[in-house]
Amino acid sequence: MELNVYLSGEIHTDWRQQLKDGCEAHKLPIVFTSAVTDHQASDSAGDLLGAEDDNFWRDHKSAKVNAIRTKTLIENCDVAVVRFGDKYKQWNAAFDAGFCAALGTPYITLHNEDIIHPLKEVDASAMAWAKTPEQVVEILKYVLTKE
Amino acid sequence: MELNVYLSGEIHTDWRQQLKDGCEAHKLPIVFTSAVTDHQASDSAGDLLGAEDDNFWRDHKSAKVNAIRTKTLIENCDVAVVRFGDKYKQWNAAFDAGFCAALGTPYITLHNEDIIHPLKEVDASAMAWAKTPEQVVEILKYVLTKE
Amino acid sequence: MELNVYLSGEIHTDWRQQLKDGCEAHKLPIVFTSAVTDHQASDSAGDLLGAEDDNFWRDHKSAKVNAIRTKTLIENCDVAVVRFGDKYKQWNAAFDAGFCAALGTPYITLHNEDIIHPLKEVDASAMAWAKTPEQVVEILKYVLTKE
Amino acid sequence: MELNVYLSGEIHTDWRQQLKDGCEAHKLPIVFTSAVTDHQASDSAGDLLGAEDDNFWRDHKSAKVNAIRTKTLIENCDVAVVRFGDKYKQWNAAFDAGFCAALGTPYITLHNEDIIHPLKEVDASAMAWAKTPEQVVEILKYVLTKE
Amino acid sequence: MELNVYLSGEIHTDWRQQLKDGCEAHKLPIVFTSAVTDHQASDSAGDLLGAEDDNFWRDHKSAKVNAIRTKTLIENCDVAVVRFGDKYKQWNAAFDAGFCAALGTPYITLHNEDIIHPLKEVDASAMAWAKTPEQVVEILKYVLTKE
Amino acid sequence: MELNVYLSGEIHTDWRQQLKDGCEAHKLPIVFTSAVTDHQASDSAGDLLGAEDDNFWRDHKSAKVNAIRTKTLIENCDVAVVRFGDKYKQWNAAFDAGFCAALGTPYITLHNEDIIHPLKEVDASAMAWAKTPEQVVEILKYVLTKE
Amino acid sequence: MELNVYLSGEIHTDWRQQLKDGCEAHKLPIVFTSAVTDHQASDSAGDLLGAEDDNFWRDHKSAKVNAIRTKTLIENCDVAVVRFGDKYKQWNAAFDAGFCAALGTPYITLHNEDIIHPLKEVDASAMAWAKTPEQVVEILKYVLTKE
Amino acid sequence: MELNVYLSGEIHTDWRQQLKDGCEAHKLPIVFTSAVTDHQASDSAGDLLGAEDDNFWRDHKSAKVNAIRTKTLIENCDVAVVRFGDKYKQWNAAFDAGFCAALGTPYITLHNEDIIHPLKEVDASAMAWAKTPEQVVEILKYVLTKE
């Protein structure tokens, strides 16, 4: 058993790296994928097709170019980890969770206790709620290596 | 042509009522559906099955009971309107949008200009972005009555 | 909003009737459906096509005839209620729950506390666990009438 | 032709090992997968995310963590073998069978004659009923090697 | 519960009428549908779009026009009855059965004992095998009226 | 049997009206649906949400608003009629045909002989090719009324 | 581009071998699969699970065991070739064609001119009709090697 | 991450080669697929099965043989690039775009500014509009290599 794990959400802390390092330490057979996490590159993805004056359309174009990547990766993943940090709106993370829920793709949420209430619908469709990247590593290790 | 329209998101302003009133004024053949919007009733939906000490599980239970309703309604709707206000996290609205996107159900977002950037992924999969309930009424009127 | 509710499981107590009576008392707009609950008729459903000497094939034939009904009803329902009593194996109830889970159809389990552990996988995919028919009535009433 | 075979059900006898040994003896190109069969590890899978006081929620958490694994494996398998022994409720086995039936995944049941009647709905959707692991080996050998 | 029943196969005997009469006698709530059973009209359906010199293309055109009807009706039916008589090839009946099998639509075969062997694959995916229209009536009556 | 028929393509001749009149003359039980065929209204559908300076985005916005209608109607239709006239590019008609093909929705093409060659891929997935609205009426009459 | 090609139908002539030889001569990158074509082995496949007195159930058991193989192979193939010879009923071939049609899997029929008429529904959903194995080889060669 | 990219549309310029060369220069891990682009070979694909007198049926036969290839390739691709040039009708390109839209497969359109208006429905469902092959290369490079 191998897993393809999509990492969604917060891009301002190093949780992705912690998660990958933890899994690597256990040599877990996981392929990790993710949206482009370079904030500026992501915001200007659409500029490759020509500049836009209007902010809405600039965002629109970039978001669609990014979706070529994220849609493909989410549809191909076995499990997603969706991270909510303590800053920003992070509606794209909740959007990804809803997308997974509709596809029937299991996902794990990763967030602190103080946002349990606003995340209750997102958690209700999740297969697990973890508070730390280490816990996610433990879950993935259990899923992949226990017999 | 008739439409079944699901109204998702913000429950602290009267946008749902404005929208319904506007559509009624034009006698548009629309059935509107929605999650339970009585905040307290929604939060305590799970209590009907017994009280919980732990906040996470209380929220979990209530969110799942509510999902019996919302999942059924979203899967049956022709179009969703997803409203993002200026308060609260509203992750459930973004979750619903992601759910619609995966199902291929068209949705219209309804929000102000100041949150264009954090909503870019949600807007990128939407069929339209409206700034006011009146605009949504205009769109639905066009869709339903123009020949 | 109306609901089509499939009632699965135990046929030796009157929980179906209690549930229907409770919903009727609240005039809830629900269509209830169910497998044939007349035990003897159900077991001999296949005899209509000719008798069988072999027990396995007699059961097989009857189970398939019954499945014409149950498969159609389960695929058409909005919500299922799956009841586990304290007697018999009731593997068909668990089978129906698995079928619903794969279809993405929400279901509510109805059972006592003493069988929580063996039902943990079935409950894990359920939207709610009720201990009494009255609780199911409360949930359905909430889902259908709260605004 | 290779097969991915999921082994569901009873974890208190060595039927999985017998089946694997038998297939290996014939060098059949099969990848076998399974839920975690270490009973205690499986029951405490959710504890990795923090302990729970309430039995229901402890089971719930563990069952969901296990489902990350089983859902992925069942959806990826070509054939499932579902084993019912003479002890315990084994509702999870029947649940898996129902899940396979809804997905259209062929499955083989493995059980003694004395439980034909309560398993009639589960057998009715199965592609074969075997009484011994050796018979399952024979079936898989036929499916994979006959021309 | 009402049923939409598609009648496929043999058009040279009056089994359809017997079946309808039998169901009507019991006032069963069934809508029956069928391909066009007027042999000559069916063969010349494509001629409405212009004559063809080549037999293959004449048949092709007519078969496709007929498929507009049959595909729609089969996809909308709850149950199909597939009749094999003792004359002609009746490959279209077997084709319809395969179509139903892939869609997961339950079907009942109706044929004599002497063609059990060549129909074994078709019967293997059927929910029931009946020898007479009366038996089909009995099955439908059981499915629709027993409680 | 009733049919829901979507009319796609050319908006500069009165073929839709001819088709409806012909079907009405035979009292065929058909509900006809269509995109908005008022050219100017269709092109400016997005203006209801605010004007755009850039032609691409104006078209984009309008096309998406129109898609709320067309996507819903095409997904709900039983049969589509796709008309190609002798003017304009009519890529939207070919787009609708491809959409129907992927959904498995039967469609009839309506065009003159002189464009057989460039339409060969579109015709190859069609159930029928008609040269005149009268022929489409004949086909629909046959499908709906012949027994 | 590689193709997985399922060969369905007639087992009494060597068309499968001719087809494979022809493709091998052109070194086409094709994996061929097929039902078990050893007639006696196929008929007795179910005997591995115990003998049956009744002919219907013996056939039933064998057909289901065979379906474990054929269902998996057909669902995994890119293209099917369905052969109708001049003997036997070959309802299983027509069944496979209907199964492919419902799945949207392209198939090529292979049969003589004298059975065009009874095969018109089967041919109407096919992507090509070939009269000889050589023609099928030519089609596959074209599909795989032309640029 | 690797991508399977289907190239649809115009066959009279060397845009496919430019695109491939550009991607190769960046060593992007892409498998490109396409319909047969040899115009004459494509038009005569059906002749391999016997000549036709009637132009419609000749085109029909060839288009279906080509569809064996294109349908398989489009259904397997991750992303499609759909090119509209300044000559010919190119309805097959719009057909492919509609097919992708219904499947939920992301596609990029490639065309000049002067045909924005007639392509508005096709562009509305696209994830990006590029004016040059170089821009498509840039997008694919971004999607595949940015982190």
pLDDT digits (tens, 9 = 90+) for C20-71: 999 999 999 999 999 999 999 999 999 999 999 999 999 999 999 999 999 9
Search chain C and give the residue with CA nearest E80: C68
Rounded CA gap, G94 and G121, in Å?
Answer: 10
Q: Provide the pLDDT confidence category of residue B88 given band limits of 50, 70 and 90.
A: confident
E25 touches chain F (CB under 8 A): no
Average pLDDT over residues H10-32: 97
Per the prediction, chain E carries an average pLDDT of 97
Residue written as tokens 């959400």? A9
- Percent pLDDT > 90 in chain F is 95
φ, ψ for residue A146 (rounded to 5)? Answer: -70, 145
- Give the pLDDT confidence score for residue D88 in this predicted structure: 84
Q: Do E122 and G95 touch (CB under 8 A)?
A: yes
Q: Quick check: do F and B touch, 3+ CB pairs under 8 A?
A: yes
pLDDT tens figures, A104-137:
999 999 999 999 999 999 999 999 999 999 999 9
Q: Do G68 and D127 touch (CB under 8 A)?
A: yes
Q: Do C146 and B65 touch (CB under 8 A)?
A: no
Q: Do C49 and E1 touch (CB under 8 A)?
A: no
- Structure tokens that stand for C50 in this block: 């000719």
Per the prediction, chain G carries an average pLDDT of 97
Q: Quick check: do G and D touch, 3+ CB pairs under 8 A?
A: yes
Q: Is D88 exposed, middle or buried (0-12, 13-18, 19+ CB in 10 A)?
A: middle
Q: Provide the pLDDT confidence category of residue A86 given band limits of 50, 70 and 90.
A: confident
- Mutation test of the interface with chain C: which of D60, D111, D121, choosing the one with the most C Cβ atoms within 10 A? D121
Rounded CA gap, B60 and B56, in Å?
Answer: 6
Q: Provide the pLDDT confidence category of residue H4 given band limits of 50, 70 and 90.
A: very high
Map chain H to HEC letters: CCEEEEEEECCCCCHHHHHHHHHHHCCCCEEEEECCCCHHHHHCHHHHHCCCCCHHHHHHHHHHHHHHHHHHHHHHCCEEEEECCCCCCCHHHHHHHHHHHHHCCCEEEECCHHHCCCCHHHHHCCCEEECCHHHHHHHHHHHHHCC
Q: Provide the pLDDT confidence category of residue H88 given band limits of 50, 70 and 90.
A: confident
Q: Provide the pLDDT confidence category of residue F78 given band limits of 50, 70 and 90.
A: very high
Read out DSSP for E49-85? G---SSHHHHHHHHHHHHHHHHHHHHHH-SEEEEE--
Average pLDDT over residues H70-90: 95
Residue written as tokens 């060397």? H14
In angstroms, what separates the C-alpha of E63 from chain C's closest C-alpha?
A: 29
Could you give the C-alpha distances from G115 to E45, E147, G99, in angstroms and in order?
19, 48, 21
Average pLDDT over residues F135-141: 98
Find the CB nearest C128 among B34, B65, B72.
B65
Per the prediction, chain F carries an average pLDDT of 97
pLDDT tens figures, F98-109:
999 999 999 999
Residues of H in contact with G130 (CB under 8 A): 49
G26 touches chain H (CB under 8 A): no
DSSP state of A132: S
- Give the pLDDT confidence score for residue A1 in this predicted structure: 84
In angstroms, what separates the C-alpha of C39 from chain B's closest C-alpha?
A: 31
- Give the pLDDT confidence score for residue F1 in this predicted structure: 84
- Percent pLDDT > 70 in chain B is 100
Q: Do B61 and C128 touch (CB under 8 A)?
A: yes
- Structure tokens that stand for H44 in this block: 């005569």
> Is the full-model pTM beyond 0.95?
yes
Q: Residue F42 corresponds to which amino acid? A: S
In angstroms, what separates the C-alpha of C138 from chain D's closest C-alpha?
A: 21
Q: Quick check: do D and H touch, 3+ CB pairs under 8 A?
A: no
Q: Provide the pLDDT confidence category of residue F45 given band limits of 50, 70 and 90.
A: very high
Counting as contact any 3 or more CB pairs under 8 A, the partners of B are A, C, D, F
CB B67, CB A124: distance < 8 Å? yes
Q: Is G118 left (phi over 0), alpha (psi -120 to 50) or beta?
A: alpha
pLDDT value at B18 more than 90: yes
Q: Do C50 and E131 touch (CB under 8 A)?
A: yes
B71 touches chain C (CB under 8 A): yes
Q: Do B53 and D53 touch (CB under 8 A)?
A: yes
Q: Which of residues 75-134 of F touch H (CB under 8 A)?
A: 84, 88-103, 113, 115-125, 129
- Give the pLDDT confidence score for residue B120 in this predicted structure: 98
pLDDT value at B86 more than 90: no
Residue written as tokens 């499939």? C6
φ, ψ for residue B41 (rounded to 5)? Answer: -60, -40
Which residues neighbour G9 within 8 Å (Cβ) at sequence distance 6 or greater? G82, G83, G84, G85, G90, G92, G93, G96, G110
CB A35, CB B96: distance < 8 Å? no
pLDDT value at E115 more than 90: yes
Q: Do F98 and H103 touch (CB under 8 A)?
A: no
Counting as contact any 3 or more CB pairs under 8 A, the partners of H are A, E, F, G
Average pLDDT over residues E41-68: 97
Search chain C and give the residue with CA nearest G53: C54
F55 touches chain A (CB under 8 A): no
Rounded CA gap, B69 and B41, in Å?
Answer: 14
Q: Do G120 and E84 touch (CB under 8 A)?
A: no
Strand order in the sheet with E3-9: E30-34, E3-9, E79-83, E107-110, E128-130
- Give the pLDDT confidence score for residue H61 in this predicted structure: 98
Using only the alpha carbons of chain E, give its radius of gyration. Answer: 16
- Give the pLDDT confidence score for residue C47 in this predicted structure: 97
In angstroms, what separates the C-alpha of G17 from chain C's closest C-alpha?
A: 39
pLDDT in tens, chain D (147 residues): 899 999 999 999 999 999 999 999 999 999 999 999 999 999 999 999 999 999 999 999 999 999 999 999 999 999 999 999 988 889 999 999 999 999 999 999 999 999 999 999 999 999 999 999 999 999 999 999 999
Rounded CA gap, F146 and F142, in Å?
Answer: 5
Picking from D15, B41, D119, the residue whose alpha carbon sits closest to that of residue C91 is D119
Rounded CA gap, F100 and C146, in Å?
Answer: 39
Q: Provide the pLDDT confidence category of residue H78 given band limits of 50, 70 and 90.
A: very high
- Give the pLDDT confidence score for residue H76 in this predicted structure: 97
Q: Do D72 and A3 touch (CB under 8 A)?
A: yes
Average pLDDT over residues C127-133: 98
Rounded CA gap, A122 and A93, in Å?
Answer: 10
Beta pairing partners, D107? D80
Identify the three-state secondary structure at position A85.
coil
Picking from E99, E104, E101, the residue whose alpha carbon sits closest to that of residue E72 is E99
C50 touches chain G (CB under 8 A): no
> Long-range contacts for F18-21 (Cβ within 8 Å, ≥24 apart)?
F18/F133, F18/F134, F19/F81, F19/F133, F19/F136, F19/F137
pLDDT value at G119 more than 90: yes
Identify the three-state secondary structure at position A10.
coil
Search chain B and give the residue with CA nearest F39: B147
- Give the pLDDT confidence score for residue A87 in this predicted structure: 83
Beta pairing partners, B130? B110
CB atoms within 10 A of CB G20: 19
C54 touches chain G (CB under 8 A): yes
Rounded CA gap, C94 and E28, in Å?
Answer: 31
- Give the pLDDT confidence score for residue E26 in this predicted structure: 98
- Give the pLDDT confidence score for residue B54 in this predicted structure: 96
